[in-house]
């Protein structure tokens, strides 16, 4: 018999009754039933109930065992007594009567329990992550993550993609976040950067004559952490294709992502035919470029009903050409208590308040706004929004560029509080036609709004003749349930168009050559039209596991302060290490 086990703790069934077996694992739970000890023995594969009675030679050792001790058990499989079966366990019809017990690894007093799903402080969970990962739910999430990645690989290969690996030590690149820099020992004063994404390399793979690339790529960005973005590093399903237009990318990617969601949605509906929503439309309807389409609420522009009205606050705002009034419908929200709660919430968000109209029986409007604009305008608003008695609408006004984010939050708040959101489904959509440039108030200049390597719609002619702020890009995102889960574009593969695009953002040709020399040179020697995207593995797994924090689906994450509490990183470098790297640590100024 094997030194440690003949079976795993998830393998025994009625077919093994009366067999002598050997199991090894952790003491998940130990119960004393009138002198008879019951040990739930756990390993990666499952749980087996072990019985040790006072007559067993194993009893003395079993009495000393504690939670999370690692033990080996020799014993005989027997059918559980009638009425004590556990249908929730794969091994629930049997138990092992122990004849011998060996302690393989004793455990000190536990800083957090493994049995049960008790909430514990994050600091403790991350410091003792190896214990945290033994807990059933987290262990299951990590295995689900592995299965999802396997499914992604299989589906990508089924679509004719080939898996490549790209360098980790590379050059700095303007991907929209800070680089992690790595000092060079051999080249004093120079630095590598960890890749924010394999963007340039995957385009160079297309330049090199390969056709369909993908990888599960590690990416590194020195960003502030939040619940849906881990500090430091993340993984993405990265892909690129040659000789394609935007629609070709959609046709290749949509079945992969839909298939992965269907495989792991546990029966929840998944969007079959994804809608294509232009960026500007998404902002106007949903207040965000990553809309949660499970929420049925659609905002509308109702400016005409307030223009020249008795509600002077809005009427004066609308005298400025750019300003508008948007309405957020609230079916079933026509109570004073709900409207007051929304108004208080808005004030908590830093707003002066949130105007509203309620509709009573007979279609009569109520509330300060209705009293000021009169019944005719109130009725016109109700008709436009398709509302009825018992419903309400909330209003935001001013410059849409400034209030759009708040409007989107208000739409989400109304939908959630009125239980209008169907949480048991996955709604996927393409967001298309992103603006190529935006105006940076901080730097007082035009800058790239998204990815500088995308092809502008209209190509070089658009760059030469259009107002930069009106140019759209062949750029697209995938939104799912309020999260951006993927982003990509058709690439700008023409050298003259690439130089012009960067020129409009304030970079001259010399800068382009210096910072993107490899790609710029490649474009001179026969560049195929190409495009692709990258899907966030971590966010997809988070959605499919039904959690709201990426730390629940990652093996060894950092905390919110970007500290690795388990390994003690970041740590100070020794003077010798710093000398070898030709650098000096300068403390921050106080």
Alpha-carbon distance 419 to 294, whole Å? 11
Q: Strand 276-278 and strand 428-432: pairing?
A: parallel
Alpha helices for 48-121 (secondary structure H): 59-64
**163 is known to lie in a ligand binding site:** no
**223 is known to lie in a ligand binding site:** yes
Residue from 211, 216, 208, 197 nearest 155 by CA? 216
Alpha helices for 525-572 (secondary structure H): 537-545
Residue from 246, 390, 261, 384 nearest 328 by CA? 384
**450 is known to lie in a ligand binding site:** yes
Alpha-carbon distance 281 to 569, whole Å? 44
Cβ atoms 193, 179 nearer than 8 A: yes
**247 is known to lie in a ligand binding site:** no
Residue 530 bridge partners (DSSP): 242
Sequence-ordered list of residues with C-beta below 8 angstroms from that of 195, at least 6 positions apart, any chain: 166, 167, 168, 170, 173, 201, 217, 218, 219, 220
Cβ atoms 197, 238 nearer than 8 A: yes
The radius of gyration computed from the CA coordinates of the chain, to the nearest angstrom, equals: 30
**221 is known to lie in a ligand binding site:** yes
**477 is known to lie in a ligand binding site:** no
- Three-state SS across 469-491? HHCEECEEEEEECCEEEEEEEEE
By the 10 Å C-beta count (0-12 exposed, 13-18 middle, 19+ buried), 519 is classed as buried
**484 is known to lie in a ligand binding site:** yes
**28 is known to lie in a ligand binding site:** no
Give the burial string for 97-128 (b: 16+ CB within 10 Å, else e): ebeebeeeeebeeeeeebbeeeeeeeeebbbb
SS3 511: helix
CA atoms within 13 A on the CB side of 175: 22
CA atoms within 13 A on the CB side of 4: 11
**150 is known to lie in a ligand binding site:** no
- Chain centroid offset of residue 545 CA: 11
Residue 112 is classified by DSSP as S
Give the burial string for 542-561 (b: 16+ CB within 10 Å, else e): bbbbebeebbbbbeebbbee
Residue 429 bridge partners (DSSP): 479
Residues annotated in the binding site for L-aspartate, as ranges? 175, 221, 450, 491
Residues annotated in the binding site, as ranges? 175, 221-223, 450, 484, 491, 536-539
Residues annotated in the binding site for ATP, as ranges? 221-223, 484, 536-539
């Amino acid at each position: 018999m094997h030194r440690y086990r003949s079976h795993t703790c998830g393998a025994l069934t009625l077919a093994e009754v009366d067999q002598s077996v050997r199991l090894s694992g952790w003491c998940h739970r130990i119960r004393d039933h009138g002198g008879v000890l019951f040990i739930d023995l756990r390993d990666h594969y499952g749980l087996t109930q072990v019985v040790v009675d006072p007559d067993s030679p194993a009893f003395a050792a079993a009495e000393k065992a504690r939670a999370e001790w690692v033990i080996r058990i020799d014993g005989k499989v027997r059918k559980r007594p009638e009425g004590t079966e556990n249908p929730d366990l794969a091994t629930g019809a049997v138990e092992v009567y122990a004849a011998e017990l060996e302690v393989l690894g004793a455990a000190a007093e536990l800083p957090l329990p493994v049995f049960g799903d008790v909430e514990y402080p994050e600091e403790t969970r991350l410091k003792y992550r190896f214990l945290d990962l033994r807990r059933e739910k987290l262990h299951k999430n990590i295995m689900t993550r592995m299965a999802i990645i396997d499914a992604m690989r299989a589906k990508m290969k089924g679509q004719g993609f080939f898996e490549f690996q790209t360098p980790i030590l590379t050059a700095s690149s303007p991907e929209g976040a800070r680089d992690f820099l790595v000092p060079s020992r051999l080249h004093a004063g120079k630095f590598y950067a960890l890749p924010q994404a394999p963007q340039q390399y995957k385009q160079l793979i297309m330049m090199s004559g390969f056709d369909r690339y993908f990888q599960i790529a590690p990416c590194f960005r020195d960003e502030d952490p939040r619940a849906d973005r881990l500090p430091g590093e993340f993984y993405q399903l990265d892909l690129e294709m040659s000789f394609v237009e935007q629609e070709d990318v959609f046709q290749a990617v949509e079945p992969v992502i839909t298939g992965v969601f269907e495989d792991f949605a546990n029966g929840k509906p998944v969007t079959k035919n994804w809608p294509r929503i232009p960026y500007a439309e998404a902002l106007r309807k949903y207040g965000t470029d990553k809309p949660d389409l499970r929420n049925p609420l659609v905002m509308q522009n109702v400016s005409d009903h307030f223009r020249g009205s008795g509600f002077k606050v809005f009427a004066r705002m609308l005298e400025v050409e750019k300003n508008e009034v948007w309405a957020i419908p609230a079916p079933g929200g026509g109570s004073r208590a709900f409207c007051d709660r929304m108004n208080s919430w808005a004030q908590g968000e830093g707003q002066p308040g949130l105007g509203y109209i309620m509709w009573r029986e007979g279609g009569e409007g109520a509330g300060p706004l209705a009293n000021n604009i009169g019944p005719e305008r109130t009725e016109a608003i109700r008709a436009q929004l398709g509302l009825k008695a018992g419903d309400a609408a909330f209003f935001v006004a001013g410059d849409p560029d400034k209030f759009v984010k708040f409007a989107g939050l208000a739409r989400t708040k109304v939908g959630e509080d009125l239980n209008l959101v169907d949480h048991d489904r996955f709604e996927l959509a393409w967001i298309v036609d992103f603006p190529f440039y935006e105006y940076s108030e901080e730097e007082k200049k035009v800058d790239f709004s998204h990815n500088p390597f995308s092809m502008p719609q209209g190509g070089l002619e658009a760059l030469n003749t259009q107002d930069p702020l009106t140019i759209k890009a062949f750029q697209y995102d995938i939104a799912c349930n309020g999260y951006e889960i993927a982003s990509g574009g058709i690439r700008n593969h023409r050298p003259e168009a690439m130089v012009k695009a960067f020129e409009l953002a304030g970079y001259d040709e010399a800068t382009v050559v210096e910072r993107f020399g490899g790609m710029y040179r490649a474009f001179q020697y026969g560049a195929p039209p190409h495009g692709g995207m990258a899907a966030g593995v971590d966010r997809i797994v988070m959605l499919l596991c039904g959690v709201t924090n990426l730390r629940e689906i990652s093996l060894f994450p950092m905390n919110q302060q970007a500290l690795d509490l388990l390994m003690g990183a970041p740590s100070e470098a020794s003077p010798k290490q710093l000398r070898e790297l030709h650098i000096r640590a300068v403390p921050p100024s106080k």
